[in-house]
Structure formats: C-alpha cells, structure tokens
Structure 1
Amino acid sequence: MSTPLNIIFAGTPDFAAQHLAALINSHHNIVAVYCPPDKPAGRGKKLTACATKLLATEHNLPVEQPKNFKELSAQQTLAGYNADIMVVVAYGLLLPEVILSTPKLGCINVHGSLLPKWRGAAPIQRSLEAGDIETGVTIMQMDKGLDTGDMILKSTCNISENDTSASLYEKLAQLGPKALLETLDIMAAPSFDAIKHNTVQDNVQATYAHKLDKAEAELDWQLDAATLNRKIRAYIPWPVAQFTFTEENEKQHRIRVWSAAAEQYSGKETAGTILSADKAGILVATNNSAIRLLKLQLPGKKPLTVAELLNGRSEWFQVGNNINGLI
C-alpha cells in the first residue's frame, strides 16, 4: 500500500461524488472538499447543495465554496490545508495557475474521455454522437489549458450499440474511481517521476466536445438513420432529442424521443414520411434509410411506448403523412 496522501477534492455532481466516496473509503486523507456555492432549485428556489457537498457533510469533512479563486483570501485558505495533491472531478470552476501549483504534487483531473480526443464540456455525449466504439477516463496533470495536461493514466471501456449518455455515464462512474485510486498510488510512490512517467498529449489528435445546446436536440429527418439514432442516444437524459408536431389547427407539440432503432430502407419516400405506425413503432423515412421510433413523450406527459401512444393519438401518425404533421 502506498503512502497516504493529504487530498483536497473539488467536484460538483453525482459523478464527482462517486469519486469522493472512493477516496473516503481509501487509506488517503481528505483535508477539504471544494464545491461551487449552493444554487436555488425547485419552485421555491431554495438554496440546494450539490451531491459532493452532501456527501462531504455526511462524513464531517471541511467544505469550502468560493465563487472563484481570484481573491487572495481564497488562495490562502486553500494553501492553508497544506495538501499533497488536489483532485478535480467535474468541478465547474476554472483554476488559476497559482492554485494549480499550490499542492505539492499539483492538481489532477478525472476526464471522461480518452484524451486528447474530446477535450471540453461534453465528452460522453460527443463520443456517442460521433459513433465511437470505445471511450474511458483519463487522469491528467492539470495545466492552464483546457484538458491539455500531461496524461498519467487511462482506463478504457467499450461503447455498446444500446448505450445512452446515461448508461455510459454510469460505466465511467464505475471506471473513474478505480483509475483515480490507481493514479494516486502511482504518484505517492517515492520513485514517481512525472517527467518520465506522464505522457504529453498530441495536440494534432485533439478534438473538442462542445457543450450541449437545446437547439441541437431538434431532429433533422434529412440525416441518415444511424446518425439520428446516435443523436437520440447521446441526448439522453438531457436535452432529449425531439421533433415538433403541428396539428391542423397549427397547435404545436414538441415530442421527445427516448428510444429508436435505425433500419434499412431502399424506397423513395421523402425524408420525414411515416412508412408504418403500429405496436412495433413508427417507421420514418430518412436520408437513404429509415428510423423506427419506439418510445415517445408528449409535453407534460410521461414517456410511452409507441403502442401506448397510438391508443390515443393514432390520427397524428397516419402512414404517408409527414412525422411533423402540418408544416
């Protein structure tokens, strides 16, 4: 077993909390947990703590919540913990160079991709959308760039044809904590030499995972079915792929798509045309193929199988009509 390290942990969502839980159960010492300030949530806009803070409080760990690290007082507070290393997982705040260099071993980050591919805010979603067959986590030494630091360790997992961002998130939430603990053991060894061990990222191979935008969720039936299916899986659980159905009275309904399957189709129907609609799904023509919609959600309702939906809305999805209704 390696020498215990004194660790500052910085993170926000459940993904980060799962890494914190692994550290709590390890032989390392957590000297402080950093989270963003509590945010208003719900109808009452009550200040709500993030998952990481809730876990830290449960275990009586010191919690710090600075708005940023621009103030000298915030920098001094962090330095006062005299940490060996700072572990950052989905924190959401930028760390200035003075913070990156404060802990003895610097700051390391758990990133949800195989760097240098998919640097940035949405690596899980972008890897699915692009049709990658594998992904993983990279533990890297943080520097002033965006996910550009030297790589310490990588751990890989396959992407299945049925994975959504939600399921892939869970895979990486299992993979990441193990990779983090292995990395800390490597760095805690007296023989650790970052120059010899770490791997510099090849910037030529880098791709960027742009933050998701709600506008991207609108499905374009002119795309091929495989591309549409990847988008649908990538946008679960947010923002969820959708299309706008327009009734004859011009009332519009934004319908979310929770499940679909790409199919071969060699006909010549216009993209967006409904080819069939029954309990097996709603088959829609796309560019050189077709996609079968399996689970849909009407505004304000829960997701339903197409068989359930057609019981009450079969008139919306008549064969030969456009999936978007009156345009």
Structure 2
Amino acid sequence: MKIVFAGTPEFAVPCLRVAVERGDVIAAYTQPDRPAGRGRGLTPPPVKLEAIARGIPVLQPESLKSAESQEALRALAPDVMIVVAYGLILPRAVLEIPRYGCWNVHASLLPRWRGAAPIQRAIEAGDAETGVCLMQMEAGLDTGPVLLRQSMPIAEDDTGGRLHDRLSALGAQVLSDGLGLLRAGIRPVPQPQPEAGVTYARKLEKAEARLDWQLPAQVLARKVRAFEPWPVAEATVAGERLRIHGAIAVEQHHSATPGTLLAASRQGLDVACGEGVLRLRVVQREGGKAITAADWLNARRDLTPSP
C-alpha cells in the first residue's frame, strides 16, 4: 500500500511511524523550515527529521494549490494520503488524487472542536472527555465523514501538553486500526458527522494568555491548564508580572477586589477572582525559570508569609 504522509509538528510523528509499519511511505509532505529559537535560525519540522531518519523523501511546498505541486503528488500515485496536523489547506483537486482519498487524524470527537486547537479548547471549556477521529477529508474544515473514533477522559489535572501527548499516541493507534482494515481489504464505512454540536477551536493567540481576574476561579484554572506549555497564562500578582504554569481553583467566599493577593504560603499564592480564589502553585518571573510559589515568596522580602 503506497502511502503519502502529510504532517508537521511533534503530534504527527507517532502517526508517521505507524504509516511506515502499515505500508510503503513513498513521500512525506511537511511545511517549510521556519525560524525558531533565540537565534531565529531555520529549524526543520519534527516530521521532516523523522522522515529523513527513515530514508523517506521529503517535500516542503509552500502550498498545494499550484498545478506543479499537484502534478508532483499525482506522479507518486498514492493509494492513500494521511494528513496529521499538516497546517496547509488541501484543495479539492488534491483530495481526489489518492485512490482512497485523504485521511485526517483529528484530535477531537467531531463535530465538537473542528479547527486548529481542539486539545486546548476542550480543556478550556471544561469538557469531560475528548478523543481522536479518523476522518475522510473533504473540502470543508474538518467536516468530512468519520471512519473510526476513540474517546478518552480528560483528567482534572491534564494540561495542554499532557493531553497533547496522550492524544498523539491515541491518534497513532486509531490510524493503525484504519490502515490495518484497509490492508485487509476492508474499507472503513464513513459516518457523516451530525449537524448538531458543531464547535470551532480557534487558533491559540498569545494575547489571550493574559488572565482576567474578574472571571471565576474555575474558568481561570482551566485556562492555566489549557495554555501550558504554550502560550502560558500570565497575570500581575502583588505588583509583579508572572507567567503561571500551575494553579487550582479554591472555593472560598471573599469580598476582595479581583486580583488582590489574599494569602501567600508554601501551598501557593491565593488571588481573589470574580468568584472564588485561584491558588498559584508554579510561577515564572520575568527572565527567570518556573519555580514553586514557596520559592517566589522567599524572593519577595516585602511580603509576609501566611500561616
């Protein structure tokens, strides 16, 4: 089975490995190298590095809209194209090239959380579960019929990073199941997505990491978890701007102005919210590294520790 793989970030790497195990990956498409790090040097995507290590030819077109790029794909004559967090739009003409079309591994239980950031939005919204869908791609944004799906619970302490890793592994398993059926001559039956329950997971923006203390503590705690490890929640606490890597909501009635530091102890920094209290456990000072609330308190000689 001739497979063309299209993916870019670390999330897609386990799926590439599964594709190699289940068929003949004749090419790997990934986005062009981008500037990254302090030196802003060109950095290859994780999928490119994995493909090179496995001897798979790598293609990095800026777009698949040109006749030239489409003809290059057509010349490969793939049986199926696997798309995992590729980051580029596939025109209808591309979707029609592979014998069995294009399959997408998407990290949500469609039709909930179509779009760019389904993992983080599920945590932010307080969803109890999420999962992975293997979808037959069509022209719309994550609107295609679902071939296979697998769900998993979202733990109360799951962060965006932790859930990302679990869903990446689950996505590889679902893809393995789908390709296994195809190899056995069994084509998974596409199930149209229901019209009810459609939500969109808009792309994460750095600006939304700023916490609004007027919001309930439960909402802010979910944001902290969702935005870890990027873009990382941030707020001003006791006059100092901090990045917040870990926090929990505490049910506590108070009459303080939202944003007021109510208590500071080894257990955490308790900040008044519009409803309840947010206890900050792991913070980061400007130019520093992530530290515990206790270490931050030790550095703030102007504050008296709470008993």
TM-score over 0.5 (shorter chain): yes
Aligned partner of 2:268 in structure 1 is: 281
- Structure 2: give runs of 5+ residues left out of the alignment: none
Cα distance per residue 1:33-56 (max 9 Å; x no partner): 101111223344332211101111
Q: What is the RMSD of the two structures over their aligned residues, measured on CA atoms?
A: 1.6
Separation (CA, whole Å) in 1 of partners of 2:35 and 2:292: 34
**SS of residue in 2 equivalent to 1:243:** strand
Aligned counterparts, 1:5-154, within 5 A? 5-24=1-20, 26-154=21-149
Cα distance per residue 1:15-73 (max 9 Å; x no partner): 1112111222x141101110111122334433221110111111111111111112211
Aligned partner of 1:164 in structure 2 is: 159
After TM superposition, the runs of 4+ consecutive aligned structure 1 residues lying more than 4 A away are 316-319
Aligned partner of 1:254 in structure 2 is: 241
In the TM superposition, residue 230 of structure 1 has moved relative to its aligned partner by 0.3
Aligned partner of 1:325 in structure 2 is: none
Does the 8 Å CA contact 1:274/1:318 hold for their aligned counterparts? no
Amino acid at match of 1:301: G
Aligned partner of 2:279 in structure 1 is: 292
**SS of residue in 2 equivalent to 1:205:** coil
Does the 8 Å CA contact 2:79/2:100 hold for their aligned counterparts? yes
In the TM superposition, residue 189 of structure 1 has moved relative to its aligned partner by 4.0
Length-normalised TM-score, structure 2: 0.95
The structure with the larger Rg is 1
Length-normalised TM-score, structure 1: 0.90
Separation (CA, whole Å) in 2 of partners of 1:246 and 1:257: 14
How many residues are matched? Answer: 306
Aligned partner of 2:170 in structure 1 is: 175
- Structure 1: give runs of 5+ residues left out of the alignment: 248-252, 320-327
Separation (CA, whole Å) in 1 of partners of 2:93 and 2:304: 59
**SS of residue in 2 equivalent to 1:22:** helix
Amino acid at match of 2:3: I
Cα distance per residue 1:70-96 (max 9 Å; x no partner): 221111110111110000000011100
Separation (CA, whole Å) in 2 of partners of 1:224 and 1:136: 27
Q: 1:76 to 1:285 in 2, by over 3 A?
A: same
Q: 1:293 to 1:215 in 2, by over 3 A?
A: same
Q: 1:66 to 1:141 in 2, by over 3 A?
A: same
Cα distance per residue 1:176-205 (max 9 Å; x no partner): 10100111123344353x6xx211011331
Amino acid at match of 1:55: E
